[in-house]
Structure 1
Amino acid sequence: MVTRRIVRALVQLAIASVCSFFFIVFLDRKFRVLPKAIHNYMPQHNHGLIVTDVTIAQCSAMNPFASCKLDPEKWQRIEKDLYLGKKWASHAYLHVARKKEEDLLADDKIVLDMSVGRLDPTNTGIHGDDEETWEARPLGLWVKRTSNHKLGDSKETVTTVDVLFGDDVVEARDGWSMAGGTPLLLSGADDIPAPYLTIRRGTQKGPVKPQPRIPENGKFKIMQIADLHLSTGVGRCRDAVPDSYNDGECDADPRTLDFMARILDEEKPNLVVLTGDQVNGETAPDAQSAIFKFAQILIKRKIPYAAIFGNHDDEGSLARGAQMNILESLPYSLSRAGPDDIDGVGNYYVEVLARGKSDHSALTLYLLDSHSYSPNERAYRGYDWIKANQIEWFKNTANRLKKKHKEYTHTHMDLAFIHIPLPEYRDSHNRIKGDWREGVTAPYFNSGFRDVLVEQGVLMVSCGHDHVNDYCALSVDGDQKPALWMCYGGGAGFGGYAGYGGYHRRVRLFDVDMNQARIRTWKRLEYGDVESRIDEQIIVDAGKLVLPAEH
């Protein structure tokens, strides 16, 4: 008897050790679930599938026999730990059961609605006089289902379910809505962004993708937003100015997004370019929730937008590819992954067509992925650079487009956007307008992209990355001939640093006047006179680079 007990104890210990080993493999040093498990997560709507049930599976690292996985033949797990990997001993996952509409049996049930709360929604009166009963699930989840023969209009049935995080959560996708305003009732998760359910009903058309066009007045305004640094949840302000704002209380994301929305409403840009670090990876264990916050503001205003990535975007839960999948699926987003066979994610261009019904391009914007950190710290410390195959792609693309651009009867202009500045931004001989407050953190390896931009006739390149540098610098050739304007957007987000002497967050505007082939730029501050423009200057006139005025 004693021997059997010893053997049984040893077997249980061995099982627990194996389970603990596999659990630790998927944790990093900070006891967070490693992101590779969800890097490619993207909730998909498959045409013809209907949700038949939803539940939550919970498990604990202290119990080697507990599992957060249900029968894969029936259940699809949403690969987001509801604890966001922040509780090493506690995990929970939403599971969804779905069937093709044609495979539904007479006794199958269909999910019509979902809610969260401690009380049965039938008794609260919030959801009206329900004929169908609400079924309880874990963590305060309630599911209302109906029999298949009562299905009726399939537009009312739930076809996809997802989970987003944070009390400032918003839904940005077409056809999606939040399932009530109450988060799931996680225990011991007061310090974790709360999980909220979101659902999609029926089948939906593809997202709106407008073609940018020069308005009838011939003027096209671009707003560059750099370094939003959004979190999962409201985030924490860094280096907020002034200290007296809101009695010293400052949540980063609400203040950042209020600033963004106000300037959008006042400036009314035709296009927004987001030049990286939209997501503050270290504080965004669910990057999707952070992305939706800035996207929803633009979608609501029907403003087309194009985004590239910075060095912080993919330091959280989602890799660049997965984030671009999300951006590509959203309304009004012109963002694209670009060719698979060149380095980076987000190498593409946006054509702005001439006014009227013309199909000729008047303005071309090139957007390239400037990557993150140096792949060879011994030789070149700091940050990565634009790679040779990206430069070759850009040259080939620009040469190919030039043939079509020559058909435009006015002056066609080319601009470019990146995240990390080029090495030439460091040149002390550049003639600048604006503030150079911090060291230029450009790569120390020069891949020659600046020279290729000049060779191809690009007039201006603008970046982000260095939050408190906000100047435009005119780079010249050896004979002092103007060659390229190199601008900074200026940091916009309160989730990122902004030290170096009381820096007000800001955004940059480019007003492109196709009547005069003129580009005027200025910046808008987050705090102060709402009508103020600072450092306004003309950088291009009659299609030619303009020298900055002497101070």
Structure 2
Amino acid sequence: MTDFNQIAAPASASGPDDERPVSISARLGRLQFHRSGKFRVLQLADIQDGPKVSKDTIRLIEASLDAARPDVVIFTGNQIAGYDDAYRDTFRKRQWEPARRGKIERTRAKVRAGISAFLQPLIDRGIPFAVTYGNHDAQCGLSPAELDALYREFPGCINPPCNMDDSAANPGFLVRSVPSSGLPDQPVAACEPGTFAMPVLDQDRQRAVLGLVVLNSGDYAREGGYGRPSDAALRFVHDVPRWLGVRSLVFQHMPLPQYYDVLKAMPANADNAIQGYRKYDAQYYVLDDDRTLPGGYLGEGVSCPDEDCGEFAALRDTDGYIGVVVGHDHRNGFVGSLNGMMLVATPTCGFGSYGPAAANRAARLFEFDIRHPYSPRTQLLTFGELVGKPSSNKAYTYAVEGQSNAADGVNLLRKPGLLAGVAAALKKI
């Protein structure tokens, strides 16, 4: 396996003679704020492709890494299109269905090929990453634990190995480092595959300043609709603030029902009104300008679970979290605020499935400032701005996007010190 800290960064990113990782945290051996007082996270949502990952997906990943130079990348699920024809011999629509394991090694090799394709830009640049799962990943026939093991084959993976029985009995206290992540000094609290927590330290490594929680939000419910996090995962997020001693930002795949609380119900014939999903399908919605930041868009109904499992209340009532960041809804991109919590939706970065217009497929950058670490700024880094025109002539499917304001309001790639933070704007909501 390649030594992560010996990987050369691209000349375009770090200069022709700089062979250090692009990630400052990787250079330092753990997640921490830079001397500049900044810390950056890049979210990649819903690659959702088969073994042959779209060229344009790779182009967007490469361009966003070079533009953002993040400390860490977080994949928020549905990296794998488990329903792809390549996995037909082991496809399982629901995880409770009987497993079809006859050709599982062939599937494992194909999944590994897809993972290798979209991770290579990170490996080339020396940027560590964390992964959680969505409703399509395990449909290929591999369990989240097996997928976790595949990701750990690649340098930079922070996902910790964990024993499911031990973590269920004692969630949040299986603290370990993952040396192959390129962060040998980074403690990680493990719960289950796709669910773990990581502290981010100050510049001098004297104290934790911020937490990053990656949460496996489940896939499907037996009674219909989408699922929920496991009981162990919900106990884990309740306990994390006590372990970290600081507030955290949660990254997961599935949106919460509370995302509908930052929308406004409208008549079906209202401009840009979008029909709700399942339980909410009798109503049409637009973004509520009083609860969302300018520049967001709603392109499809929020596809959340039918029932509220109590996750939002648990996050809010512990006073240990600043918000939730999700993917799943490929056509939605907005930042809302509810009860002092950020509710962030990020569109797909992939070109292997449906989504917004090609130019609007995006990665999402978060920049934290140590002076106000619970008030991150965030920006969508779009294909149109970073790359230009797609290389494929494929007719991508997308919906009309109801934008509240064409201006994004934040540009973290130019003069970030002059920009207002997201939290400052949220205070006005």
Which interval holds the TM-score relative to the shorter structure? 0.5 to 0.7
Describe the shift of the 1:384–1:447 C-alpha distance in structure 2 as closer, same or farther (beyond 3 A).
same
Distance (Å, rounded) in 2 between the aligned partners of 1:413 and 1:218 = 18
Query: 1:224 and 2:43 equivalent?
Result: yes
Unpaired runs of at least 5, structure 1: 1-172, 176-206, 235-252, 403-411, 477-482
Describe the shift of the 1:353–1:339 C-alpha distance in structure 2 as closer, same or farther (beyond 3 A).
farther
Query: 1:534 and 2:362 equivalent?
Result: no
The answer as to whether partners of 2:199 and 2:244 remain within 8 angstroms in 1 is no
What residue number does 1:513 align with?
A: 369
Task: Pick from 195, 202, 207 the counterpart of residue 360 of structure 1.
Answer: 207
Encode CA deviations 1:340-396: one digit per residue, 9 max, x unaligned. 14496211011212113x24222111111111111222xxxx100123332112212
Describe the shift of the 1:272–1:452 C-alpha distance in structure 2 as closer, same or farther (beyond 3 A).
same
Distance (Å, rounded) in 1 between the aligned partners of 2:29 and 2:82 = 30
Count residues with an aligned counterpart: 305
SS in structure 2 of the partner of residue 451 of structure 1: helix
Amino acid at match of 2:292: I
SS in structure 1 of the partner of residue 164 of structure 2: coil
| Greater relative CO (CA pairs within 8 A, separation 6+) | 2
What residue number does 1:441 align with?
A: 303
SS in structure 1 of the partner of residue 83 of structure 2: helix
The answer as to whether partners of 1:372 and 1:383 remain within 8 angstroms in 2 is yes
Distance (Å, rounded) in 2 between the aligned partners of 1:349 and 1:301 = 24
Distance (Å, rounded) in 2 between the aligned partners of 1:486 and 1:422 = 9
SS in structure 2 of the partner of residue 527 of structure 1: helix
Correspondences of 1:415-494 after superposition (within 5 Å): 415-427=249-261, 428=263, 431-433=291-293, 434-457=296-319, 458-476=321-339, 483-494=340-351
Encode CA deviations 1:181-204: one digit per residue, 9 max, x unaligned. xxxxxxxxxxxxxxxxxxxxxxxx
The answer as to whether partners of 1:223 and 1:508 remain within 8 angstroms in 2 is yes
Distance (Å, rounded) in 1 between the aligned partners of 2:163 and 2:324 = 21
What residue number does 2:33 align with?
A: 214
Distance (Å, rounded) in 2 between the aligned partners of 1:291 and 1:420 = 21
What residue number does 1:265 align with?
A: 66
Task: Pick from 188, 193, 199 the counterpart of residue 345 of structure 1.
Answer: 193
Q: CA deviation at 1:440?
A: 0.6
Describe the shift of the 1:502–1:435 C-alpha distance in structure 2 as closer, same or farther (beyond 3 A).
same
Distance (Å, rounded) in 2 between the aligned partners of 1:317 and 1:209 = 38
The percent identity for this pair of structures is 26
Q: CA deviation at 1:460?
A: 1.5
The answer as to whether partners of 1:209 and 1:333 remain within 8 angstroms in 2 is no
Q: TM-score, normalised by structure 2?
A: 0.65
Distance (Å, rounded) in 2 between the aligned partners of 1:387 and 1:435 = 30
Q: TM-score, normalised by structure 1?
A: 0.52
The answer as to whether partners of 1:387 and 1:447 remain within 8 angstroms in 2 is no
Going by fraction, where is strand more abundant, 1 or 2? 1
Larger Rg: 1
Query: 1:546 and 2:426 equivalent?
Result: yes
Amino acid at match of 2:337: L
Distance (Å, rounded) in 1 between the aligned partners of 2:162 and 2:324 = 19
Q: CA deviation at 1:397?
A: 2.8
Unpaired runs of at least 5, structure 2: 4-25, 88-109, 169-190, 265-287, 389-405, 411-419
Query: 1:414 and 2:414 equivalent?
Result: no
Amino acid at match of 1:448: G
Amino acid at match of 2:251: F
Q: CA deviation at 1:316?
A: 1.5
The answer as to whether partners of 1:475 and 1:486 remain within 8 angstroms in 2 is yes
Describe the shift of the 1:229–1:529 C-alpha distance in structure 2 as closer, same or farther (beyond 3 A).
closer
Query: 1:385 and 2:265 equivalent?
Result: no
The answer as to whether partners of 1:415 and 1:460 remain within 8 angstroms in 2 is yes
Distance (Å, rounded) in 2 between the aligned partners of 1:337 and 1:371 = 19
The answer as to whether partners of 2:128 and 2:158 remain within 8 angstroms in 1 is yes
Distance (Å, rounded) in 2 between the aligned partners of 1:498 and 1:548 = 31
Describe the shift of the 1:339–1:492 C-alpha distance in structure 2 as closer, same or farther (beyond 3 A).
same
SS in structure 2 of the partner of residue 399 of structure 1: helix
Correspondences of 1:368-407 after superposition (within 5 Å): 368-377=215-224, 382-402=225-245
Describe the shift of the 1:467–1:324 C-alpha distance in structure 2 as closer, same or farther (beyond 3 A).
same
